[in-house]
Amino acid sequence: MATVLEARDLVKEYPGVTAVGGVSFAVEEGICFGLLGPNGAGKTTTVEIIEGVTPATSGEVYYYGEPAGAKFRQEVGIQFQKTALQDFLTVRETIEMFQALYDRKADFDELIEQCSLGDLLDRDNRKLSGGQRQRLLLAVALVNRPRLVFLDEPTTGLDPQARRNFWDLVQNLRALGSSIVLTTHYMDEAEILCDEIAIMDAGRIIAQGAPDDLLRGHYEGLIIELPIGDLTDELAEIEHTIYENLGIVEFVTTDVSASLQQLSPHVTNLNHIKIRQPNLDDLFLDLTGHSLRA
Amino acid sequence: MLRRIFAIFRGRNREFLRDRASFAWNLLLPIVLIFGLSFALGGDRNTYTVGILQDSDDILEEQHPFLSMRYIRFVPTSNKDDALRKVSRHQLDLLVEFGEAPRYWVNPDSSKGYFVELALLQSDGTAPPTIDKEQITGDAVRYADWVLPGILGMNMMFSCMFGVGYVVVRYRKNGFLKRLRATPLTSFEFISAQVASRMVLIICITVFIYTGTHLILDTRMEGSYFTLFLVALVGAVSMISLSLVISARVTSEELAGGLLNMINWPMMLLSGVWFSLEGAGTFVQNLARIFPLTHVLDSARAVMLDGATIGEVAPSLLALTALSMVFIGIGAKIFRWGQF
């Protein structure tokens, strides 16, 4: 598999602040690569440096082994986290305008079908709902049949239904062969969509790999969680790997039955106990000591 | 390249034409001003204006008793041809040259010229008068004739400055410029599209307003329509270019509005939109030459009121072209797509 994109030691410094402190990663052809982290981690700055809209303090970006340049601009599609479109234009006119900026063009009808915009073509941009607007922005990002698509927090602010619809669109896109770089702070989104992830915190990548591999590498077993108020004893007296966050205590165990037996004398209400698989939220908390949503 | 320019050009045109409030404002404001001012100020001016043909800028009252009379504005001038043309157009009620062979020029069709002439002869106090009389004929230039180019120029100025400068800043602030930056569009293509879009729109609006006003008020047109069109075209490009310099880096609409007003108001006041700067000091008149609008109005009035040819307005057209090149050069050099 060819390497579509390679970021080498990207640094972005503002006076008194290092927003991105030496980020490097590579994206293989045909995969969905997730850049995860809390707000302010440096995800958007990193992708905007790669996209060429924010100048880096230092570092290099390569597209199919060449420094990113005119070919990169022709062949990538970008959906920014925040983008305004021209007022008073319809969905059709907006797509046509952006399509005219590229040499490569997607088939208009296929694009409309792909993004489910068929009923909205003559609607004013300003009169779209949040989900419809995101679908239009995705269509704008796809007008040039991109080989590589950047999606920067595409589902932020969408309701659950619209989020799931958007995930379907991204999965279809991947099935059609495009490579995707997705930034998000939704771990469930990353787990569903991404083949590989890099977790960022404070401008650096702190973990990178396939989501399952990362979780397997950090956790052995399942997580038992219960409200801290249900514990009768101090945490230190219980022999398990323990995390505490937002009033919830989590115990990592490879033997759930044995753990429950050991815990039960120390818990006032067993009905509050939950048993689940570890996820990327747990991993992030484990790696950084603070929550993703903090 | 042309395909990309045309795409942005068409998008901007659609945005402007469908914004009915802005579009109506661009059309209605100048029309209301032209007709309102024509009716409000269409009568005779309240003061008498007399040109004094001399080399000095100072009026010395001891030169002649006439120069100390009240309610008469004395305007020194050294350009005799220009002053005589103004007498013929009723823009000067009288032109007087004192000295060893004193004489004056008056338009016999001017009612105000008749009274000022009586005042001059009475103040002279000699019988028969020792001051020679010459007559100049010509129809009066109504205020509507004079103010029409001013208002069209002012509308052009506001439309070009705010319609481009303010919009570019809005695009930058809301991220639309950043979105375009992520496409193959270059800054030159984007700027070209903005200039072309606003130029076509403002020229269409100006032609429409001029035609309507000309037909209804029967305004004076002594020169060629082509020359006038050329003046409008070059003037529009110049003012759009100026707005691009202001908007090249600014990211705040409030700051952009302040900067645009800081340029627009002195330009409007000093370029002679409403009233002639005839009596203003040399410094003010020279200062006004740095503004594109001054050259536009001088040229347009020369064409419309005096029948000036392309050759005669060429200096102003060249000045506007030079200003445009300087503005576009600076604008392209310092242009920023984003807020970084």
Q: What is the pLDDT of residues A153-171, one digit of tens each?
A: 888 777 787 788 888 888 8
Return the pLDDT at A294: 44
A55, A70, A89: residue with CB nearest B11: A89
Q: Do A93 and B181 touch (CB under 8 A)?
A: no
For residue B158, how far is the Cα from the chain centroid? 12
CA distance A31 to A86: 32
Q: Do A51 and B182 touch (CB under 8 A)?
A: yes
Burial of A124 (0-12, 13-18, 19+ CB in 10 A): middle
Q: Are residues B229 and B161 in the same domain?
A: yes
A70, A80, A85: residue with CB nearest B184: A70
What's the number of domains chain B is made of?
Answer: 2
Answer whether residue B340 is part of any domain. Answer: no
Question: DSSP string spanning A228-290?
Answer: GGGB-S-GGGS-SEEEEETTEEEEEES-HHHHHHHHGGGBS-GGG-EEE---HHHHHHHHHSS
Return the pLDDT at B38: 66
On chain A, the residues whose CB falls within 8 A of the CB of B184 are 70, 73-74, 101-103
On chain A, the residues whose CB falls within 8 A of the CB of B193 are none
Q: Do A84 and B176 touch (CB under 8 A)?
A: yes
Return the pLDDT at B232: 93
Q: Does A145 touch chain B (CB under 8 A)?
A: no
B176, B182, B340: residue with CB nearest A86: B176
Task: For A259-286, write each residue's pLDDT tens digit.
Answer: 888 888 887 888 888 888 888 888 887 7
CA distance A170 to B64: 91
- Distance (Å) from the alpha carbon of A238 to chain B's nearest alpha carbon: 52
Comparing alpha-carbon positions, the chain B residue that sits nearest to A45 is B340
Q: Does A31 touch chain B (CB under 8 A)?
A: no
Q: Which helix (H) or strand (E) holds A109?
A: helix A108-114
Closest C-alpha among A60, A53, A45, A48 to residue A13: A45
Residue spans per domain, chain A: 3-215, 220-277
Render the burial of B255-281: b for 16+ CB within 10 Å, e for the rest.
Answer: ebeebbeebbeebbebbbbbeeebeee
Render the burial of A249-275: b for 16+ CB within 10 Å, e for the rest.
Answer: bbbbbeeeeebbeebeeebeeeeebee
Comparing alpha-carbon positions, the chain A residue that sits nearest to B185 is A101
On chain A, the residues whose CB falls within 8 A of the CB of B3 are 100
Return the pLDDT at B261: 85
Return the biggest CA–CA distance within chain A. Answer: 70
* Structure token digits, residue B243: 């707005």
CA distance B185 to A115: 24
Comparing alpha-carbon positions, the chain B residue that sits nearest to A82 is B175
Return the pLDDT at A235: 62
Instruction: State the 10-residue block means of pLDDT for chain B, 340 residues long.
Output: 84 82 76 71 68 85 84 87 85 86 88 88 74 82 81 88 86 86 87 88 90 84 92 92 86 83 84 70 78 90 89 92 88 76
Return the pLDDT at B315: 92
Q: Do B10 and A97 touch (CB under 8 A)?
A: yes
- Distance (Å) from the alpha carbon of A74 to chain B's nearest alpha carbon: 6
* Structure token digits, residue B197: 């879009």
CA distance B80 to B84: 6
Answer whether residue B161 is part of any domain. Answer: yes
Q: Are residues B274 and B196 in the same domain?
A: yes
* Residue finishing a domain among B135, B165, B182: B135
Return the pLDDT at B17: 81
- Distance (Å) from the alpha carbon of A155 to chain B's nearest alpha carbon: 18
Q: Are residues B104 and B151 in the same domain?
A: no
Q: Are residues B217 and B320 in the same domain?
A: yes
Closest C-alpha among A190, A158, A171 to residue A279: A190
Q: Are residues B183 and B231 in the same domain?
A: yes
For tokens 């350009």, the residue is: B79
Q: Does A73 touch chain B (CB under 8 A)?
A: yes
If you compute the radius of gyration of chain B from its CA atoms, what whole number of angstroms results? 24
* Residue finishing a domain among B135, B169, B200: B135
Residue ranges with strand state E in chain B: 48-53, 72-77, 94-97, 103-106, 132-135
CA angle, B142 then B143 then B147, to 5°? 130
Answer whether residue B339 is part of any domain. Answer: no
Is the C-alpha dihedral spanning B143, B149, B152, B155 positive or negative? Answer: negative
Beta-carbon count within 10 A of A222 CB: 16
* Residue finishing a domain among B135, B163, B194: B135
B15, B176, B184: residue with CB nearest A74: B184
> What percentage of residues in chain A have a pLDDT greater than 90?
28
Q: Does A57 touch chain B (CB under 8 A)?
A: no
Q: Do B175 and A84 touch (CB under 8 A)?
A: yes
Q: Are residues B181 and B293 in the same domain?
A: yes
| Mutation to test the A interface, candidates B2, B170, B183, B336, most A Cβ within 10 Å | B183
Comparing alpha-carbon positions, the chain A residue that sits nearest to B18 is A88
B174, B184, B337: residue with CB nearest A101: B184
* Structure token digits, residue B119: 């005042």
CA distance B241 to B165: 9
Return the pLDDT at A32: 92
Q: Are residues B163 and B261 in the same domain?
A: yes
The answer, yes or no, to whether residue A205 has pLDDT greater than 80, is yes
Q: Are residues B100 and B185 in the same domain?
A: no
Return the pLDDT at B158: 87
Comparing alpha-carbon positions, the chain A residue that sits nearest to B12 is A86
* Structure token digits, residue A67: 């420094």
CA distance B170 to B183: 19
| Mutation to test the A interface, candidates B176, B179, B251, B337, most A Cβ within 10 Å | B179
Residue ranges with strand state E in A15-95: 17-28, 32-36, 58-63, 66-67, 76-79
Q: Does A17 touch chain B (CB under 8 A)?
A: no
Q: Which residues contact A185 (CB under 8 A, 6 or more apart)?
A: A36, A37, A38, A39, A41, A43, A153, A156, A292, A293
Closest C-alpha among A35, A8, A33 to residue A23: A8
Q: Does B18 touch chain A (CB under 8 A)?
A: yes
Closest C-alpha among B230, B232, B212 to residue B153: B232
Q: Does A279 touch chain B (CB under 8 A)?
A: no
Question: Which has the minimum average pLDDT: A118-122, A209-213, B27-31?
Answer: B27-31
CA angle, A206 then A208 then A209, to 5°? 160
Burial of A158 (0-12, 13-18, 19+ CB in 10 A): middle
Q: How far is CA A259 from CA A230, A252, B28, in A?
A: 16, 9, 80
Task: Name residues 81-100 of chain A within 8 A of B (Cβ).
Answer: 82-89, 93, 96-98, 100
CA distance A231 to A265: 9
> What percentage of residues in chain A have a pLDDT greater than 70?
94
**pLDDT tier at A23 (50, 70, 90 boundaries)?**
very high
The 3-state DSSP class for residue A42 equals coil
Domain coverage including residue B118: 48-135
Q: Does B1 touch chain A (CB under 8 A)?
A: no
Q: Does A62 touch chain B (CB under 8 A)?
A: no
Return the pLDDT at A261: 82
Q: Do A51 and B8 touch (CB under 8 A)?
A: no
Q: Do A89 and B4 touch (CB under 8 A)?
A: no
Q: How many helices (H) and strands (E) does chain B have?
A: 13, 5
Closest C-alpha among B247, B222, B193, B248 to residue B313: B222
Task: For A60-85, write each residue's pLDDT tens digit.
Answer: 999 999 998 888 999 999 988 778 88
β-partners of residue A62 are: A6, A67
What ipTM is given for this predicted complex?
0.76
Return the pLDDT at A236: 58
CA distance B107 to B92: 9
Burial of B282 (0-12, 13-18, 19+ CB in 10 A): exposed
Q: Are residues B83 and B192 in the same domain?
A: no
Q: Are residues B20 and B53 in the same domain?
A: no
Q: Do A97 and B8 touch (CB under 8 A)?
A: yes
The 3-state DSSP class for residue A208 equals strand
Query: For residues B167 and B250, is the Cβ–Cβ distance under 8 A?
Result: no
Q: Kindly report the CATH number that applies to the domain delimited by A3-215.
A: 3.40.50.300
Q: Are residues B28 and B82 in the same domain?
A: no
Contacts 24+ apart (CB under 8 A), B69-73: B69/B119, B69/B123, B71/B47, B72/B47, B72/B48, B72/B116, B72/B119, B73/B47, B73/B48, B73/B49, B73/B279
Q: Are residues B120 and B148 in the same domain?
A: no
Burial of A192 (0-12, 13-18, 19+ CB in 10 A): middle
| Mutation to test the B interface, candidates A13, A47, A73, most B Cβ within 10 Å | A73
B4, B15, B340: residue with CB nearest A54: B340
Q: Does B23 touch chain A (CB under 8 A)?
A: no
The answer, yes or no, to whether residue A181 has pLDDT greater than 80, is yes
Can you say whether residue A65 is alpha, beta or left, with left for phi > 0 and alpha for psi between -120 and 50 degrees?
left
Return the biggest CA–CA distance within chain B. Answer: 85
β-partners of residue B49 are: B73
